[in-house]
Each structure stands twice: as C-alpha cells, then as structure tokens.
Amino acid sequence: MKTFYIETFGCQMNAHDSEKVVGTLLREGYSQVPDEADAGLILYNTCSIRDKAEQKVFHRLNEYKKMQGEGKKFAVLGCVAQQEGNKIFERAPYVSLVAGSSSYRNLPDMLARLEAGETRITGLDDRQTDETFDTEFTARTNPHRGYITIIEGCDKFCSYCVVPYTRGKERSRTSASVLAEAQRISHSGFTEIQLLGQNVNSYADPSGKRTFAELLAAVGEVQGIQRVRFTTSHPRDFTRDIVDVIDAVPTLCDHVHLPVQSGSTDVLRAMQREYTREWYLERIAWTKAAKRDISLTSDIIVGFPGETDRDFEDTITLLDHVGYDAIYGFKYSPRPNTPAIHMHDSIPEEIKIERLAILNARQREIQRTNYARHLGHTMPIMVEHGANSRGQITGRSTQNKTVNFTCETTPAIGSYIDVRITQIFPSSLVGEAASASVAPSPALLAQQALNARFSAAQ
C-alpha cells in the first residue's frame, strides 16, 4: 500500500493547499497515515513568510534524515520549495521531490515519476503561469468550514514580501467554477464557506461575468450556506461595493480583515503599498458607515527600515482612529529576494521589540473596550470544538470572534446556537447558551431583519 504523511505550516492558503494535495494523493491510490514512521512518502508543506523560515525547514528535514535508510521518500512543497529550489537537494540530498504551489496541478505526473524511481523531481514555475490548482478531490479536513481558493498569486510586489516570488502572478478562477465548488461544499454538509486568496478582493473573473462583490453575493445565495467569509483583502482593491454587498446579503459575515501594515504614509511608500494613510482611512470610513456593525482587523509591521518615532506614532494613532477588534503585529525581518533586503535595516532589535510591545498593549486596551460592548448581548455562534476541561464549548461569531460558552447539552460541531455574553477576555468572549427569554443584541436583531428581507426577496 502507498502511504503518506503530510505536515503543514503557514497560513490558511497553505492549509487548504494541503487539503487539495491530500485529495490528489488519495485519488492516486495513496493512503494517509497519522504518523511519519508509518509513511512511505513524507511531504512537508512550507511557508516562507516568517523570519528564518528556510532554516526551520532544513532543521525539520534534518530530523527526517534518520529515516532515510527505511526506504522512505521525502518531498518539500510550498513557498520555501519555490524559493530555495534545487538548493534543497544540495542541502538535503535524501529529498526526492521539490514543488512550489504553482505546480501542484502537475502532482499526479510528479508522483508517477517518483514511483518510477526518479530521485530529483522539481515542480517550479516562473511568474508566467496562468493555471490554478482546481480539483474536485479536495480532502476537507476542517469539520465546520469549507475553503475555496478563488485567486492565486500576487502582483502587488510590496517591498518586504516574498509572496509574488513564491506564489506567482495573480490568476483567478472563473466564477462558475467557484460556484460549482460552493455547491459541492454545501452538498457535503458544510454551512460555512471561506473564500481565500493572497489578495482575495483582487479577484478578476476570467469569464467577465462577476466582480468580486457579485461573486460574494452569489456564494452567499448558495442553498444551505449560512456563513461566507473571505480573506485576505488588499486596501488597493477594496471597493465600496464590497461593503454594500455585506450590508445586502445576510449570509456574508460582518468582518473585514484589511491589512494596513503601517499608519505612516512615508513608511507605506517605502513598503511599496501604493496607497496613503488617507486612502486607507477612506475605506475604513465606508465600512464604519455600513448598516451592519462590521468588525475590522488588520496586520501591522513595526520596525520597517527607516521607521522613525513619528512614523510609529502615526501607527498608534491609526489604531485609535480605526478601533480594530484585533490586529496581528509583527517585527520587520528581511526576507530573501525582496527589494527591502537591500535596505539598511536601521532599527535596532531592542527598538523593534519595544515598539511591538507598545503596539500590542495599546491594541489590548482598544480590544477590551470593543469587546465590552458585547456584555449582556446574545449572538449566534457556530460551534467549532466540544467541551474543554472547564466544560466550555468553543465557537465563533459572525464577526470572527472566539466565544467560549457553557451549555446544558453538547451541541454538534458545525451547529449554531445563540449565546449570551457574560465575560470578556483579551482575545475571546465568554457566555452561556441563551434561553428564549434573553433579549438579543442589536446586531442579532439587524441580522434577523436582513434574513427576513433576503427571504422575502427570494
């Protein structure tokens, strides 16, 4: 029997890529095992976003090295594979397959070559490929959410980012293929879909039938789907009709992740983000003017080369102005093959650490205030995990907030339940399953009204 073990690192895109890789392997007659010791083929799906990612990959491969005498074969997939290429064979000669994410469509052929005895197989694409990795054989491992990649690659070329070089150019799937996959997901019993892309809102339908906002609406109208999420949006392609469609279609979740990276226009220019602080805040104003209470989250980098105290203060004041529900803060680290690697990394490490601490402390204050408005309110929660050691069940709100709650009975994973919020923590809400007598929050009432209006329109 052909067996395999896969280990995945990185973002949701990587996790979903692994679902598609697993589905392809199963289709090719392989069987997945939970332990690398039992696998004939070990695959390592990598990410190169974080600092020293490639060193971590080679360290992990070195741990696998002890197994090379057992007849096992090894494959390195993903961004580090695309970035390092044949260097992986040089540093880890027991690896037989190196494939970037843009070449996964050729995986059946590469597996056949591997089985035929080839020991150095590469699947590395340049930025010219127009093909995407579409497959009906996705092995969906998330028990409550189905992922759909609608656009691959990136054309933005931010000066600090490796993605344009490891994922290739932007290439979108037809809206018809996306909707067909959404239908398959619904028929499989999922009620929540998340649309994925490095810049998901840069989607450009090759058939010309739908804009990104129109695709959101169409996915939200698929029978059986109760929630639709999307990530990650780029401010340059964030248009007003995205806010309008969230307002109009109740199945679209009231959450937008819109990475700003810096609150300083000077730093944004150095990052080659191609927008200003004012441009970004205009899109925030659109979102805050929506009829629904749309939660906003973001990514922020501190310590980018040349970032002054004034630039950093601009980022802090942006936090105060926007009032994000959450941010993901990072210290700048130079990445291979990016323009920023040639910039003088002028910010001492201790200053980066200090700025990140200040950023996170200020965000915690904002988050505490934001979360406090949910106290005493009731919100619909999708159940994601069963009871923990404290008897709390974990779920998620439409605004993508984690909610831990108690319930007299244990609801099924993927089911929905109204929860009354009784406590707040730095990054989660706590509550109890609500009785019929508990008054719903204004957000819940608004969603119910939207649902009624939407049903009447249908």
DSSP-assigned letter for residue 178? H
Q: How many domains does the chain have?
A: 3
305 located within any domain: yes
**Exposed / middle / buried, residue 299 (Cβ in 10 Å: 0-12, 13-18, 19+):** middle
Cβ neighbours for 409, distance < 8 A, ≥ 6 positions apart: none
pLDDT confidence band for 274 (50 / 70 / 90): very high
| pLDDT the model gives residue 439 | 46
- 171 and 94 in a common domain: no
| pLDDT the model gives residue 186 | 94
Q: Does pLDDT of 440 surpass 90? A: no
The separation between the first and the last C-alpha atoms of the chain, rounded to the nearest angstrom, is: 51
Convert the pLDDT of each residue in 120-143 to its tens digit: 999 987 777 788 888 878 889 888
Pairwise CA distance, residues 195 & 178, whole Å: 9
Peptide bond between residue 232 and the one before it cis (omega within 30 degrees of 0): yes
**238-247, 320-329, 380-389 — which is least confidently predicted?**
380-389
Q: Are 296 and 325 in contact (CB under 8 A)?
A: yes
- The phi and psi torsions of 357 (rounded to 5 degrees) equal -65, -45
129 located within any domain: no
Q: Which two tokens stand for residue 278?
A: 């004012």
Pairwise CA distance, residues 160 & 156, whole Å: 11
pLDDT confidence band for 457 (50 / 70 / 90): very low
Which residue did the predictor score with more confidence, 336 or 321? 321
Pairwise CA distance, residues 267 & 272, whole Å: 9
Domain of residue 276 covers: 146-370
CATH number of the domain encompassing residue 397:
2.40.50.140
Q: Which two tokens stand for residue 47?
A: 């990410």
Name residue 284's beta-bridge partners.
none
Q: Does pLDDT of 161 surpass 70? A: yes
Domain C-terminal end among 317, 351, 370: 370
Q: Work out the angle at residue 152's Cα, subtended by the Cα atoms of residues 95 and 175, and round it to the nearest 5 degrees.
A: 135
Given CA atoms 361, 366, 367, 368 in this order, what sign does their dihedral have? positive
> pTM of the predicted model, to two decimals?
0.89
395 located within any domain: yes
Q: Does pLDDT of 435 surpass 50? A: yes
**162-166, 212-216, 315-319 — which is least confidently predicted?**
162-166
**203-212, 417-426, 447-456 — which is least confidently predicted?**
447-456
Mean pLDDT value of segment 277-298: 98
243 located within any domain: yes
Q: Does pLDDT of 449 surpass 90? A: no
- 85 and 202 in a common domain: no
pLDDT confidence band for 410 (50 / 70 / 90): confident
| Residue percentage of the chain with pLDDT more than 70 | 95
On average, the pLDDT of the chain sits at 91
- 108 and 188 in a common domain: no
- 409 and 302 in a common domain: no
Q: Does pLDDT of 11 surpass 80? A: yes
Q: Which two tokens stand for residue 69?
A: 């005498």
Q: Are 120 and 87 in contact (CB under 8 A)?
A: no
Pairwise CA distance, residues 342 & 408, whole Å: 59
CATH number of the domain encompassing residue 210:
3.80.30.20
| pLDDT the model gives residue 403 | 98
Pairwise CA distance, residues 391 & 380, whole Å: 19
Q: Which two tokens stand for residue 162?
A: 């490796």
| pLDDT the model gives residue 217 | 98
CA-to-CA separations, 209 to 148, 173, 203, 212, 213, in angstroms, rounded: 18, 12, 12, 10, 12
Q: Does pLDDT of 50 surpass 90? A: no
Q: Does pLDDT of 99 surpass 60? A: yes
- 282 and 232 in a common domain: yes
pLDDT confidence band for 454 (50 / 70 / 90): very low
* 17 three-class SS: helix
140 located within any domain: no
- 300 and 155 in a common domain: yes
Mean pLDDT value of segment 185-193: 94
